A and B are shown apart, each in its own frame.
Chain A
């Protein structure tokens, strides 16, 4: 596989997906420190938002240490070369949030829906793409749940609304490299040549780096990851590892490999409440195809109702739950506890 000289854009998720393992408690100061280090290391794009996107602040997903507006304002004004993105899930955030984020200085908006529901993003993508110089990305989550042909139909919808880049998102960390290759290659053939194509992986089956390389080989030019893997489940594709692999293969990311390693080791790892790793529950997410940010919710409900978190996660997978259904977890745990006679 010769990918020498191929140029790609890496996109760091520490300050958005990384909010999940941090229970949305990353402080404004920590965000600014991390973002400045990313800027210094040559990371072209970083995401800064509540873990569940703009407007994610809620009982359901967690109240953050600061508002999206406070985070974005503080980070955007410190960036020299690095650009800042925000995530928006229609049904959680609205166009009003999008406008706020633009006013704070983001240059990329990513509009995310479940992989079969692209049409709920029309309102947000068309508004964003009409804004001058706003990089507008459509982001299809849980992309393992449908076949490549169906996925391409949904990607093309987002493209038709005005997205200049679309993403195949392995929210459950379920895909194997061949699954990534099939989806990315077909999408690359079917989308307009000018439309950029991205891949967002999770490391629940330790496939983050391998899947991302497979995506690049099949035609993706944007890759998400997070330094030290700070992200939901077993984390995102560990970005410093991916960058080192790209360096070896001659794939050009523009990021300084040693500086990336230093951010992971010296800044991100010490921030972790618990080490983000492939523990039994995170492995279960990848094995059963469950949305990665359910992890801590399942652990908490398991502890509260004296259940196995793996049992809860397996059942959530069996019921084909989708991203955002965190409210299902306590409800399900109560059902399971009642069946087992541990509560009335």
Chain B
């Protein structure tokens, strides 16, 4: 579904991603791990369609279409979801209005009628229960005054509402206590279907105790330097990133 080939990306003239290639097929869970500053969030930003990264080389296709030419709102309607590392607070815009607009834009794209008010509220209720989000949060402005954990749960709630084909979770585990982490991970697992995929971007292994990846990739210095099964995550947890850095530097 997603195919990244030799992607090279700069931000403000500085090359951050040097050469990234990655294939994600339906149903797969990929974990992208790596030390700070390795380019993990830049990769997420490119996939979600932010305008600031400059694409220097390479291709990204989504079911054969050039993803890089698709505006962010259409990527979302096409089934790509980004869980933000730092969800944005939007005072004055209610969660209900936000999600209703988003869900109906998705429906319009699929040629469906907008949901009625009561069907929409029913859908919200179901999804709130699924991700164990406090029902009061949904009555507030988007992320305004939410705690760190509430913001991350709210990302998973939005994911549940939009049912993406590919969810990219950018450091969703950062700043979460163990209970919130479990809720977030359970949410992701409950939403998992045989045909949808997840890219988990994380610094630590602990989220991968709950969301079991099929593949673990190590991103370092703008490249994927190692790919293996879930056991790689444990090895990283045990030994840290130093041995990888050493290995890469020796090769160079």
Pair from one complex: no
